[in-house]
A and B are shown apart, each in its own frame.
Chain A
Protein backbone atom coordinates (compact mmCIF):
# COMPACT_ATOMS: atom_id res chain seq x y z
CA UNK A 1 0.00 0.00 0.00
CA UNK A 2 1.43 3.41 -0.86
CA UNK A 3 2.75 5.32 2.12
CA UNK A 4 0.72 7.94 3.85
CA UNK A 5 -2.76 6.46 3.83
CA UNK A 6 -2.49 5.15 7.35
CA UNK A 7 -1.68 8.57 8.68
CA UNK A 8 -5.31 9.56 8.28
CA UNK A 9 -6.45 7.64 11.32
CA UNK A 10 -3.74 9.22 13.44
CA UNK A 11 -4.80 12.67 12.36
CA UNK A 12 -8.40 11.86 13.20
CA UNK A 13 -7.56 10.47 16.61
CA UNK A 14 -5.43 13.42 17.44
CA UNK A 15 -8.34 15.71 16.70
CA UNK A 16 -5.72 17.32 14.52
CA UNK A 17 -3.96 20.20 13.63
CA UNK A 18 -2.29 23.08 15.29
CA UNK A 19 -2.97 25.71 12.73
CA UNK A 20 -0.85 28.74 12.49
CA UNK A 21 -0.77 31.87 10.48
CA UNK A 22 1.09 31.67 7.22
CA UNK A 23 4.73 32.33 7.45
CA UNK A 24 6.58 34.57 5.10
CA UNK A 25 8.17 31.97 2.93
CA UNK A 26 9.41 33.46 -0.27
CA UNK A 27 12.02 31.58 -2.21
CA UNK A 28 15.29 32.12 -0.35
CA UNK A 29 17.55 34.41 -2.30
CA UNK A 30 20.29 31.81 -2.24
CA UNK A 31 18.10 29.14 -3.84
CA UNK A 32 17.79 29.39 -7.61
CA UNK A 33 14.33 29.52 -9.11
CA UNK A 34 13.51 26.02 -10.37
CA UNK A 35 13.92 25.23 -14.02
CA UNK A 36 11.30 23.55 -16.17
CA UNK A 37 13.08 20.21 -15.97
CA UNK A 38 12.89 20.03 -12.17
CA UNK A 39 12.22 16.42 -11.26
CA UNK A 40 9.14 15.92 -9.09
CA UNK A 41 9.44 13.96 -5.86
CA UNK A 42 7.81 10.57 -5.49
CA UNK A 43 7.24 8.12 -2.64
CA UNK A 44 9.75 5.33 -2.20
CA UNK A 45 7.13 2.67 -2.74
CA UNK A 46 5.90 4.12 -6.05
CA UNK A 47 8.85 5.09 -8.23
CA UNK A 48 7.90 6.29 -11.70
CA UNK A 49 8.56 4.40 -14.90
CA UNK A 50 7.54 5.20 -18.48
CA UNK A 51 5.14 2.25 -18.51
CA UNK A 52 3.55 3.27 -15.22
CA UNK A 53 3.15 6.87 -16.33
CA UNK A 54 1.62 5.82 -19.64
CA UNK A 55 -0.79 3.52 -17.86
CA UNK A 56 -1.67 6.32 -15.47
CA UNK A 57 -2.39 8.68 -18.34
CA UNK A 58 -4.73 6.14 -19.93
CA UNK A 59 -6.54 5.59 -16.63
CA UNK A 60 -6.77 9.34 -16.05
CA UNK A 61 -8.72 9.77 -19.29
CA UNK A 62 -10.80 6.59 -18.99
CA UNK A 63 -14.41 7.13 -17.91
CA UNK A 64 -14.62 3.46 -17.01
CA UNK A 65 -13.16 4.63 -13.70
CA UNK A 66 -16.69 5.77 -12.89
CA UNK A 67 -19.44 3.27 -12.17
CA UNK A 68 -21.62 4.21 -15.15
CA UNK A 69 -18.79 5.19 -17.47
CA UNK A 70 -19.69 8.86 -17.61
CA UNK A 71 -16.86 10.53 -15.68
CA UNK A 72 -13.10 10.22 -15.97
CA UNK A 73 -10.55 12.14 -13.96
CA UNK A 74 -10.13 14.32 -17.04
CA UNK A 75 -13.83 15.16 -17.10
CA UNK A 76 -13.18 17.55 -14.23
CA UNK A 77 -9.45 18.07 -14.82
CA UNK A 78 -9.16 19.46 -18.36
CA UNK A 79 -5.65 20.13 -19.63
CA UNK A 80 -6.65 23.32 -21.43
CA UNK A 81 -7.76 24.72 -18.07
CA UNK A 82 -4.62 23.58 -16.27
CA UNK A 83 -6.45 20.42 -15.26
CA UNK A 84 -9.47 22.02 -13.69
CA UNK A 85 -12.94 22.84 -15.05
CA UNK A 86 -15.17 25.89 -15.48
CA UNK A 87 -17.93 24.90 -13.05
CA UNK A 88 -18.33 26.09 -9.49
CA UNK A 89 -18.62 22.47 -8.44
CA UNK A 90 -19.33 19.32 -10.36
CA UNK A 91 -22.17 16.84 -9.80
CA UNK A 92 -21.34 13.19 -9.34
CA UNK A 93 -22.61 10.35 -11.50
CA UNK A 94 -25.85 10.17 -9.53
CA UNK A 95 -26.53 13.87 -10.03
CA UNK A 96 -25.80 14.73 -6.43
CA UNK A 97 -24.16 18.12 -6.26
CA UNK A 98 -20.45 18.61 -5.90
CA UNK A 99 -19.25 20.32 -2.78
CA UNK A 100 -16.02 22.06 -3.65
CA UNK A 101 -14.37 23.66 -6.65
CA UNK A 102 -12.11 21.49 -8.79
CA UNK A 103 -8.44 22.26 -8.24
CA UNK A 104 -5.64 22.49 -10.76
CA UNK A 105 -3.15 19.63 -10.85
CA UNK A 106 -0.16 21.74 -11.88
CA UNK A 107 2.86 20.77 -9.78
CA UNK A 108 0.70 18.66 -7.52
CA UNK A 109 3.66 16.31 -6.97
CA UNK A 110 5.08 18.82 -4.52
CA UNK A 111 1.90 19.33 -2.50
CA UNK A 112 1.92 18.04 1.07
CA UNK A 113 -1.87 18.18 1.35
CA UNK A 114 -4.11 17.65 -1.60
CA UNK A 115 -7.67 18.70 -0.83
CA UNK A 116 -9.43 21.86 0.24
CA UNK A 117 -10.23 20.53 3.68
CA UNK A 118 -8.24 17.45 4.60
CA UNK A 119 -4.59 17.58 5.70
CA UNK A 120 -4.66 13.80 6.04
CA UNK A 121 -4.89 13.42 2.26
CA UNK A 122 -1.18 13.75 1.66
CA UNK A 123 -0.41 11.39 -1.20
CA UNK A 124 -1.83 11.29 -4.69
CA UNK A 125 -2.33 7.54 -4.27
CA UNK A 126 -4.66 8.20 -1.37
CA UNK A 127 -6.37 11.16 -3.00
CA UNK A 128 -7.40 9.14 -6.07
CA UNK A 129 -9.59 6.93 -3.91
CA UNK A 130 -11.75 9.85 -2.84
CA UNK A 131 -13.38 10.63 -6.21
CA UNK A 132 -13.45 6.97 -7.24
CA UNK A 133 -14.92 5.45 -4.07
CA UNK A 134 -15.99 8.37 -1.91
CA UNK A 135 -19.51 9.02 -0.65
CA UNK A 136 -19.33 12.64 0.48
CA UNK A 137 -19.96 13.60 -2.19
CA UNK A 138 -20.51 10.78 -4.64
CA UNK A 139 -18.31 11.52 -7.63
CA UNK A 140 -17.30 8.51 -9.73
CA UNK A 141 -19.56 6.18 -7.84
CA UNK A 142 -17.60 3.02 -7.01
CA UNK A 143 -18.23 3.42 -3.29
CA UNK A 144 -20.40 0.61 -2.00
CA UNK A 145 -20.08 -1.39 -5.18
CA UNK A 146 -18.80 -4.99 -5.08
CA UNK A 147 -15.17 -5.35 -4.06
CA UNK A 148 -12.89 -5.45 -7.04
CA UNK A 149 -15.54 -4.20 -9.46
CA UNK A 150 -13.27 -1.63 -11.10
CA UNK A 151 -10.29 -3.98 -11.28
CA UNK A 152 -12.46 -6.67 -12.84
CA UNK A 153 -13.78 -4.20 -15.40
CA UNK A 154 -10.29 -3.10 -16.42
CA UNK A 155 -8.97 -6.64 -16.50
CA UNK A 156 -11.64 -7.51 -19.03
CA UNK A 157 -10.52 -4.89 -21.52
CA UNK A 158 -8.05 -5.38 -24.33
CA UNK A 159 -5.23 -3.06 -23.30
CA UNK A 160 -5.06 -3.07 -19.56
CA UNK A 161 -3.71 -6.52 -18.65
CA UNK A 162 -0.65 -5.90 -20.79
CA UNK A 163 -0.24 -2.33 -19.57
CA UNK A 164 -0.44 -3.32 -15.91
CA UNK A 165 2.02 -6.14 -16.54
CA UNK A 166 4.48 -3.67 -18.01
CA UNK A 167 3.92 -1.07 -15.30
CA UNK A 168 4.02 -3.43 -12.32
CA UNK A 169 6.31 -6.32 -13.12
CA UNK A 170 7.16 -6.58 -9.43
CA UNK A 171 3.48 -7.28 -8.70
CA UNK A 172 2.97 -9.64 -11.62
CA UNK A 173 0.83 -7.01 -13.30
CA UNK A 174 -1.85 -7.23 -10.65
CA UNK A 175 -4.85 -4.98 -11.27
CA UNK A 176 -6.30 -3.70 -8.02
CA UNK A 177 -7.02 -0.37 -6.35
CA UNK A 178 -3.41 -0.07 -5.21
CA UNK A 179 -1.92 -0.41 -8.67
CA UNK A 180 -4.68 1.70 -10.23
CA UNK A 181 -4.05 4.59 -7.84
CA UNK A 182 -0.27 4.19 -8.04
CA UNK A 183 -0.38 4.55 -11.83
CA UNK A 184 -2.71 7.54 -11.61
CA UNK A 185 -0.38 9.17 -9.11
CA UNK A 186 2.68 8.50 -11.27
CA UNK A 187 1.03 10.27 -14.21
CA UNK A 188 -0.13 13.21 -12.11
CA UNK A 189 3.40 13.72 -10.79
CA UNK A 190 4.50 14.44 -14.36
CA UNK A 191 2.17 17.45 -14.54
CA UNK A 192 4.92 19.99 -14.02
CA UNK A 193 4.39 23.64 -14.87
CA UNK A 194 7.51 25.77 -14.45
CA UNK A 195 7.80 27.71 -17.69
CA UNK A 196 5.45 30.64 -17.32
CA UNK A 197 6.63 34.16 -18.18
CA UNK A 198 7.12 34.77 -14.46
CA UNK A 199 9.45 31.75 -14.27
CA UNK A 200 11.50 33.03 -17.17
CA UNK A 201 11.69 36.45 -15.54
CA UNK A 202 12.83 34.91 -12.27
CA UNK A 203 15.47 33.00 -14.18
CA UNK A 204 16.85 36.20 -15.64
CA UNK A 205 14.84 37.03 -18.77
CA UNK A 206 14.15 40.69 -18.05
CA UNK A 207 11.74 41.01 -20.98
CA UNK A 208 9.52 38.10 -19.97
CA UNK A 209 7.17 40.27 -17.89
CA UNK A 210 5.29 43.43 -18.72
CA UNK A 211 5.89 46.43 -16.49
CA UNK A 212 2.39 45.95 -15.11
CA UNK A 213 3.14 42.33 -14.22
CA UNK A 214 6.41 43.33 -12.57
CA UNK A 215 4.53 45.89 -10.50
CA UNK A 216 2.02 43.18 -9.60
CA UNK A 217 4.81 40.83 -8.58
CA UNK A 218 6.18 43.47 -6.26
CA UNK A 219 2.71 44.06 -4.83
CA UNK A 220 2.25 40.32 -4.36
CA UNK A 221 5.19 40.39 -1.96
CA UNK A 222 4.44 43.76 -0.39
CA UNK A 223 0.87 42.72 0.42
CA UNK A 224 2.20 39.45 1.83
CA UNK A 225 0.16 37.38 -0.59
CA UNK A 226 3.26 35.21 -0.71
CA UNK A 227 2.99 34.39 2.96
CA UNK A 228 0.37 31.78 2.04
CA UNK A 229 0.80 31.55 -1.74
CA UNK A 230 4.42 30.80 -1.04
CA UNK A 231 7.38 29.44 -2.93
CA UNK A 232 7.64 28.45 -6.58
CA UNK A 233 4.32 26.60 -6.51
CA UNK A 234 2.53 29.54 -4.87
CA UNK A 235 1.09 27.61 -1.96
CA UNK A 236 2.40 26.84 1.48
CA UNK A 237 0.98 23.35 0.95
CA UNK A 238 4.05 22.71 -1.21
CA UNK A 239 6.67 24.04 1.18
CA UNK A 240 8.79 21.09 2.24
CA UNK A 241 9.36 22.52 5.70
CA UNK A 242 5.62 22.79 6.37
CA UNK A 243 3.39 20.22 7.96
CA UNK A 244 0.28 19.60 5.84
CA UNK A 245 -2.06 21.17 8.39
CA UNK A 246 -0.11 24.42 8.34
CA UNK A 247 -1.45 25.26 4.88
CA UNK A 248 -5.05 25.79 6.05
CA UNK A 249 -6.23 29.33 6.59
CA UNK A 250 -9.41 31.31 7.05
CA UNK A 251 -10.14 34.38 4.95
CA UNK A 252 -13.61 34.88 6.39
CA UNK A 253 -15.98 33.05 8.69
CA UNK A 254 -18.47 31.00 6.67
CA UNK A 255 -22.14 31.86 6.90
CA UNK A 256 -24.42 29.54 8.84
CA UNK A 257 -24.89 26.27 7.00
CA UNK A 258 -22.01 26.86 4.61
CA UNK A 259 -18.97 24.65 4.20
CA UNK A 260 -17.06 24.64 7.48
CA UNK A 261 -13.76 23.60 5.89
CA UNK A 262 -11.11 21.93 7.98
CA UNK A 263 -13.36 21.63 11.02
CA UNK A 264 -15.41 19.04 9.14
CA UNK A 265 -12.43 16.77 9.72
CA UNK A 266 -11.03 18.03 13.00
CA UNK A 267 -14.39 19.00 14.59
CA UNK A 268 -12.52 21.91 16.23
CA UNK A 269 -14.42 25.21 16.28
CA UNK A 270 -11.26 27.17 15.61
CA UNK A 271 -10.89 25.34 12.30
CA UNK A 272 -14.22 26.52 10.93
CA UNK A 273 -13.69 28.25 7.62
CA UNK A 274 -10.09 27.13 7.18
CA UNK A 275 -9.19 25.84 3.73
CA UNK A 276 -5.91 24.81 2.20
CA UNK A 277 -4.09 27.44 0.20
CA UNK A 278 -4.53 26.67 -3.50
CA UNK A 279 -1.57 26.93 -5.83
CA UNK A 280 -1.66 29.79 -8.32
CA UNK A 281 0.06 28.18 -11.29
CA UNK A 282 -2.05 28.91 -14.42
CA UNK A 283 -4.63 30.53 -12.19
CA UNK A 284 -5.90 32.71 -15.05
CA UNK A 285 -7.15 29.52 -16.72
CA UNK A 286 -8.82 27.96 -13.72
CA UNK A 287 -11.84 30.15 -12.95
CA UNK A 288 -14.01 30.05 -10.95
CA UNK A 289 -12.13 30.45 -7.70
CA UNK A 290 -12.18 29.76 -3.95
CA UNK A 291 -13.30 26.50 -2.36
CA UNK A 292 -16.89 27.02 -3.45
CA UNK A 293 -16.24 28.54 -6.86
CA UNK A 294 -18.12 31.67 -5.84
CA UNK A 295 -15.50 34.04 -7.25
CA UNK A 296 -15.91 34.03 -11.01
CA UNK A 297 -12.99 36.28 -11.92
CA UNK A 298 -9.49 36.96 -10.65
CA UNK A 299 -10.68 40.36 -9.53
CA UNK A 300 -13.44 38.83 -7.40
CA UNK A 301 -11.00 36.28 -6.01
CA UNK A 302 -8.55 39.00 -4.99
CA UNK A 303 -11.26 41.11 -3.38
CA UNK A 304 -12.62 38.08 -1.54
CA UNK A 305 -9.40 38.03 0.47
CA UNK A 306 -10.34 41.41 1.90
CA UNK A 307 -14.04 40.78 2.42
CA UNK A 308 -14.11 40.16 6.17
CA UNK A 309 -14.34 43.56 7.82
CA UNK A 310 -13.84 42.04 11.27
CA UNK A 311 -10.79 39.97 10.52
CA UNK A 312 -7.99 40.06 13.06
CA UNK A 313 -5.44 39.31 10.38
CA UNK A 314 -3.70 42.57 9.55
CA UNK A 315 -2.76 41.28 6.12
CA UNK A 316 -6.44 41.04 5.23
CA UNK A 317 -7.42 44.48 6.54
CA UNK A 318 -5.71 46.40 3.77
CA UNK A 319 -7.48 48.26 1.01
CA UNK A 320 -6.57 47.85 -2.60
CA UNK A 321 -6.59 50.61 -5.19
CA UNK A 322 -7.86 49.74 -8.67
CA UNK A 323 -4.30 50.03 -9.96
CA UNK A 324 -3.18 47.50 -7.37
CA UNK A 325 -5.85 45.05 -8.48
CA UNK A 326 -4.92 45.38 -12.14
CA UNK A 327 -1.24 44.93 -11.27
CA UNK A 328 -1.96 41.79 -9.28
CA UNK A 329 -4.08 40.41 -12.11
CA UNK A 330 -1.28 41.08 -14.60
CA UNK A 331 1.11 39.21 -12.31
CA UNK A 332 -1.29 36.29 -11.93
CA UNK A 333 -1.77 36.12 -15.69
CA UNK A 334 2.02 35.88 -16.01
CA UNK A 335 1.79 32.52 -14.22
CA UNK A 336 0.15 30.97 -17.30
CA UNK A 337 2.43 28.34 -18.80
CA UNK A 338 1.47 27.75 -22.42
CA UNK A 339 3.77 24.75 -22.75
CA UNK A 340 1.95 23.05 -19.88
CA UNK A 341 -1.52 23.24 -21.36
CA UNK A 342 -0.27 22.11 -24.78
CA UNK A 343 2.14 19.40 -23.66
CA UNK A 344 1.40 16.35 -25.85
CA UNK A 345 2.53 14.03 -23.06
CA UNK A 346 -0.51 15.07 -21.05
CA UNK A 347 -3.25 14.70 -23.68
CA UNK A 348 -5.82 11.94 -23.91
CA UNK A 349 -4.17 8.90 -25.48
CA UNK A 350 -5.63 7.24 -28.57
CA UNK A 351 -8.21 4.57 -27.84
CA UNK A 352 -6.12 1.90 -29.52
CA UNK A 353 -3.75 0.00 -27.27
CA UNK A 354 -0.34 1.66 -27.19
CA UNK A 355 2.86 0.07 -28.32
CA UNK A 356 4.61 -0.66 -25.07
CA UNK A 357 7.87 1.02 -24.23
CA UNK A 358 10.41 -0.31 -21.79
CA UNK A 359 9.19 -0.20 -18.19
Chain B
Protein backbone atom coordinates (compact mmCIF):
# COMPACT_ATOMS: atom_id res chain seq x y z
CA UNK B 1 0.00 0.00 0.00
CA UNK B 2 2.73 2.45 0.97
CA UNK B 3 4.72 1.38 -2.05
CA UNK B 4 1.82 2.40 -4.22
CA UNK B 5 1.67 5.86 -2.68
CA UNK B 6 5.40 6.26 -2.93
CA UNK B 7 5.16 5.36 -6.59
CA UNK B 8 2.47 7.95 -7.04
CA UNK B 9 4.65 10.60 -5.43
CA UNK B 10 7.56 9.69 -7.65
CA UNK B 11 5.40 9.76 -10.72
CA UNK B 12 4.32 13.30 -9.98
CA UNK B 13 7.50 14.77 -8.63
CA UNK B 14 9.47 15.14 -11.86
CA UNK B 15 6.87 17.41 -13.36
CA UNK B 16 5.40 19.37 -10.48
CA UNK B 17 7.16 19.83 -7.18
CA UNK B 18 5.05 19.88 -4.03
CA UNK B 19 3.63 23.31 -3.49
CA UNK B 20 4.34 24.48 -7.00
CA UNK B 21 0.67 25.03 -7.72
CA UNK B 22 0.00 27.61 -5.09
CA UNK B 23 -3.49 28.71 -4.20
CA UNK B 24 -4.45 31.89 -2.46
CA UNK B 25 -1.60 33.87 -1.03
CA UNK B 26 1.91 32.71 -1.72
CA UNK B 27 3.86 33.88 1.31
CA UNK B 28 7.16 33.28 -0.46
CA UNK B 29 6.47 36.32 -2.63
CA UNK B 30 5.99 38.60 0.40
CA UNK B 31 8.80 40.95 1.38
CA UNK B 32 7.61 40.83 4.98
CA UNK B 33 4.63 39.31 6.73
CA UNK B 34 2.19 41.52 8.63
CA UNK B 35 3.91 44.69 7.45
CA UNK B 36 0.51 46.04 6.44
CA UNK B 37 -2.39 44.89 8.58
CA UNK B 38 -6.03 45.88 8.02
CA UNK B 39 -7.54 48.75 9.99
CA UNK B 40 -8.39 47.58 13.47
CA UNK B 41 -5.77 44.82 13.42
CA UNK B 42 -2.71 46.80 14.54
CA UNK B 43 -2.39 44.60 17.63
CA UNK B 44 -2.72 41.34 15.67
CA UNK B 45 0.70 40.23 16.85
CA UNK B 46 0.16 41.53 20.41
CA UNK B 47 0.11 37.96 21.64
CA UNK B 48 -1.77 38.56 24.90
CA UNK B 49 -2.18 35.23 26.61
CA UNK B 50 -5.69 34.02 27.28
CA UNK B 51 -6.83 30.52 28.08
CA UNK B 52 -10.05 28.86 27.14
CA UNK B 53 -12.56 27.88 29.74
CA UNK B 54 -13.82 24.34 29.93
CA UNK B 55 -17.40 25.57 30.22
CA UNK B 56 -19.06 28.56 28.52
CA UNK B 57 -20.10 30.16 31.81
CA UNK B 58 -16.43 30.55 32.73
CA UNK B 59 -15.35 31.99 29.39
CA UNK B 60 -12.87 34.87 29.45
CA UNK B 61 -14.15 38.10 27.90
CA UNK B 62 -11.91 39.29 25.07
CA UNK B 63 -11.21 42.96 24.41
CA UNK B 64 -12.01 44.27 20.95
CA UNK B 65 -8.96 45.15 18.90
CA UNK B 66 -6.59 43.21 21.17
CA UNK B 67 -4.44 40.49 19.67
CA UNK B 68 -4.45 37.24 21.63
CA UNK B 69 -2.49 34.04 21.64
CA UNK B 70 -5.41 31.96 22.81
CA UNK B 71 -4.77 28.74 24.67
CA UNK B 72 -7.04 25.85 23.74
CA UNK B 73 -7.87 22.42 25.13
CA UNK B 74 -8.41 19.03 23.56
CA UNK B 75 -11.80 18.88 21.86
CA UNK B 76 -13.45 16.60 24.37
CA UNK B 77 -12.30 18.73 27.31
CA UNK B 78 -14.37 21.70 26.16
CA UNK B 79 -18.14 21.91 26.59
CA UNK B 80 -19.45 23.47 23.41
CA UNK B 81 -22.52 25.67 23.61
CA UNK B 82 -23.64 24.41 20.22
CA UNK B 83 -22.05 21.54 18.35
CA UNK B 84 -19.80 23.10 15.68
CA UNK B 85 -20.54 22.20 12.08
CA UNK B 86 -16.92 21.02 11.82
CA UNK B 87 -15.88 20.08 15.34
CA UNK B 88 -12.47 18.66 14.53
CA UNK B 89 -11.15 15.31 15.68
CA UNK B 90 -10.51 14.20 19.22
CA UNK B 91 -6.84 15.13 18.84
CA UNK B 92 -7.64 18.68 17.77
CA UNK B 93 -7.97 21.69 20.06
CA UNK B 94 -10.95 23.88 20.87
CA UNK B 95 -11.86 26.87 22.98
CA UNK B 96 -14.75 28.97 24.25
CA UNK B 97 -14.41 32.71 24.80
CA UNK B 98 -16.72 35.71 25.14
CA UNK B 99 -16.79 39.31 23.95
CA UNK B 100 -19.10 42.25 24.50
CA UNK B 101 -20.76 44.26 21.76
CA UNK B 102 -21.67 47.78 22.81
CA UNK B 103 -22.85 49.03 19.45
CA UNK B 104 -24.71 47.14 16.74
CA UNK B 105 -22.72 46.61 13.58
CA UNK B 106 -20.41 44.31 11.68
CA UNK B 107 -17.60 42.67 13.63
CA UNK B 108 -14.60 40.83 12.18
CA UNK B 109 -13.07 37.85 13.87
CA UNK B 110 -9.61 36.90 12.66
CA UNK B 111 -7.84 33.61 13.27
CA UNK B 112 -4.29 32.59 12.59
CA UNK B 113 -5.45 29.14 11.50
CA UNK B 114 -8.23 27.58 9.48
CA UNK B 115 -10.07 26.38 12.59
CA UNK B 116 -13.87 26.43 12.67
CA UNK B 117 -15.40 29.51 14.25
CA UNK B 118 -18.85 30.10 15.72
CA UNK B 119 -20.28 33.24 17.27
CA UNK B 120 -23.16 32.46 19.58
CA UNK B 121 -25.93 34.69 20.90
CA UNK B 122 -28.76 33.50 23.08
CA UNK B 123 -27.53 29.95 22.74
CA UNK B 124 -27.66 29.90 18.94
CA UNK B 125 -24.84 29.99 16.43
CA UNK B 126 -25.16 33.02 14.17
CA UNK B 127 -24.80 32.94 10.42
CA UNK B 128 -21.76 34.92 9.29
CA UNK B 129 -22.32 37.89 7.03
CA UNK B 130 -19.22 36.95 5.07
CA UNK B 131 -15.99 35.05 5.38
CA UNK B 132 -12.72 34.70 3.56
CA UNK B 133 -8.97 34.41 3.73
CA UNK B 134 -6.91 37.01 5.53
CA UNK B 135 -5.16 39.67 3.45
CA UNK B 136 -2.10 38.70 1.43
CA UNK B 137 1.25 38.88 3.23
CA UNK B 138 -0.32 38.63 6.65
CA UNK B 139 -0.46 35.75 9.12
CA UNK B 140 -4.22 36.19 9.35
CA UNK B 141 -5.51 32.89 7.98
CA UNK B 142 -9.21 33.71 7.93
CA UNK B 143 -11.61 36.51 8.76
CA UNK B 144 -15.28 35.91 9.46
CA UNK B 145 -17.67 38.87 9.63
CA UNK B 146 -20.83 38.85 11.74
CA UNK B 147 -23.59 41.44 12.02
CA UNK B 148 -24.13 41.69 15.76
CA UNK B 149 -26.53 43.34 18.14
CA UNK B 150 -25.45 44.80 21.49
CA UNK B 151 -24.85 42.27 24.24
CA UNK B 152 -22.47 39.53 25.21
CA UNK B 153 -21.56 36.91 22.64
CA UNK B 154 -19.67 33.66 22.92
CA UNK B 155 -16.98 32.67 20.50
CA UNK B 156 -16.18 29.02 19.86
CA UNK B 157 -13.03 27.84 18.15
CA UNK B 158 -13.03 24.20 17.05
CA UNK B 159 -10.77 21.89 15.12
CA UNK B 160 -7.51 23.73 15.65
CA UNK B 161 -4.36 21.76 14.98
CA UNK B 162 -2.27 23.40 17.70
CA UNK B 163 -2.72 24.20 21.38
CA UNK B 164 -2.84 27.93 20.71
CA UNK B 165 -4.28 30.14 18.01
CA UNK B 166 -3.90 33.82 17.21
CA UNK B 167 -7.23 35.55 17.64
CA UNK B 168 -8.56 39.10 17.34
CA UNK B 169 -12.09 40.55 17.36
CA UNK B 170 -12.51 43.99 15.79
CA UNK B 171 -15.42 46.18 14.85
CA UNK B 172 -15.71 46.86 11.14
CA UNK B 173 -14.53 50.45 10.53
> Closest residue to B160 on the A side, CB-wise?
A70
Interface on A for B, CB 8 Å cutoff? 1, 5, 8-9, 12, 62-66, 68-70, 72, 74-75, 87-91, 93, 96-99, 118, 126, 129-130, 133-138, 143, 153, 157, 177, 257-260, 263-265, 267, 292-293, 351
* Residue numbers in A under 8 Å from B8 (CB-CB): 8, 118, 130, 134, 136
Is B150 in contact with chain A by the CB < 8 A criterion? no
* Chain A contact residues, majority secondary structure: loop
CB atoms of B11 and A12 under 8 A apart:
yes
CA of A1 to CA of B114, assembled, Å: 35
Interface hit among B46-54, B63-71, B83-91, B119-127:
B83-91
CA distance A8 to B12 in the complex (A): 14
Most A CB atoms within 10 A — which of B13, B83, B90?
B90
- A91 neighbours in B (Cβ, 8 Å): 23-24, 114
The residues of A that contact B4 with a CB separation of less than 8 Å are: 5, 8-9, 126, 129
Measured between beta carbons, the chain B residues less than 8 angstroms from A133 are 2, 5
A263 vs B24: C-alpha distance in the bound complex, in angstroms? 25
Where chain B touches its partner, the secondary structure class is loop
Q: A63-B159, A69-B75, A69-B91 are in contact. Are A136 and B12 (CB under 8 A)?
A: yes
- Residue from A65, A68, A293 with most neighbouring chain B CB atoms (10 Å): A68
> Is there contact, CB below 8 Å, between A129 and B86?
no
Contact of A64 with B90 at beta-carbon distance under 8 Å, contacts A69-B159, A89-B23, A351-B83 already known: yes
Which residues in A have their C-beta under 8 angstroms from that of B35? none
Q: Tell me, yes or no, whether B45 is within 8 Å of chain A by CB.
A: no
Q: Is the CB of A70 within 8 A of B5?
A: no
- What is the CB-to-nearest-CB distance from A115 to chain B, in angstroms, rounded to a whole number? 10
Give B contacts to A, CB under 8 Å.
1-2, 4-5, 7-9, 11-16, 18-24, 26, 75, 83, 86-92, 114-115, 159-162
Q: Which of B19, B88, B89, B115 is close to A137, meaning CB atoms less than 8 Å apart?
A: B19
Q: A98 near B23 (CB under 8 angstroms)?
A: yes
With A9-B7, A135-B5, A136-B12 as contacts: A65 and B89 at CB distance below 8 Å: yes
Contact A136 B88 (CB under 8 A): no
A253 smallest CB distance to B (angstroms): 15
Q: Assess whether A96 is in contact with B18, with CB atoms less than 8 Å apart.
A: yes
Are B1 and A177 neighbours in the complex by a CB distance under 8 Å? Answer: yes
* Chain B residues whose C-beta falls within 8 Å of the C-beta of A118 in the assembled complex: 8
Q: Pick from B9, B15, B21: contact of A135, CB below 8 A.
A: B9
Contact B24 A63 (CB under 8 A): no
Is the beta-carbon distance between B5 and A130 smaller than 8 angstroms?
Answer: yes
A304–B163 alpha-carbon span in the complex (Å) = 44
Write the nearest CB–CB distance from B139 to chain A, whole angstroms. Answer: 11
CB of B76, distance to nearest CB on chain A (Å) = 9
- The 7 A-B residue pairs with the shortest CB-CB distance in the complex, in nearest-first order: A69-B89, A69-B92, A64-B89, A68-B161, A63-B89, A69-B91, A89-B23
Across the interface, which residues of B come within 8 angstroms of A143, CB to CB? 5
- CB of A267 within 8 A of CB of B90, answer no
In the assembled complex, the CB of B143 is this many whole angstroms from the nearest CB of chain A, namely: 15
A-B contact pairs, 19 of them (CB 8 A): A8-B4, A9-B7, A62-B89, A63-B92, A68-B92, A68-B162, A69-B75, A69-B89, A74-B86, A97-B19, A97-B23, A97-B24, A99-B16, A118-B8, A129-B4, A130-B8, A135-B18, A260-B16, A293-B23
Q: Is the CB of B19 within 8 A of A134?
A: no
Cβ-defined contact, A265 with B11, below 8 A: yes
Picked from A69, A88, A90, A257, the residue with its CB within 8 Å of the CB of B88 is A69
B-side contacts of A65, CB under 8 Å? 89
Question: How distant is A335 from chain B, measured CB to nearest CB, in Å?
Answer: 26
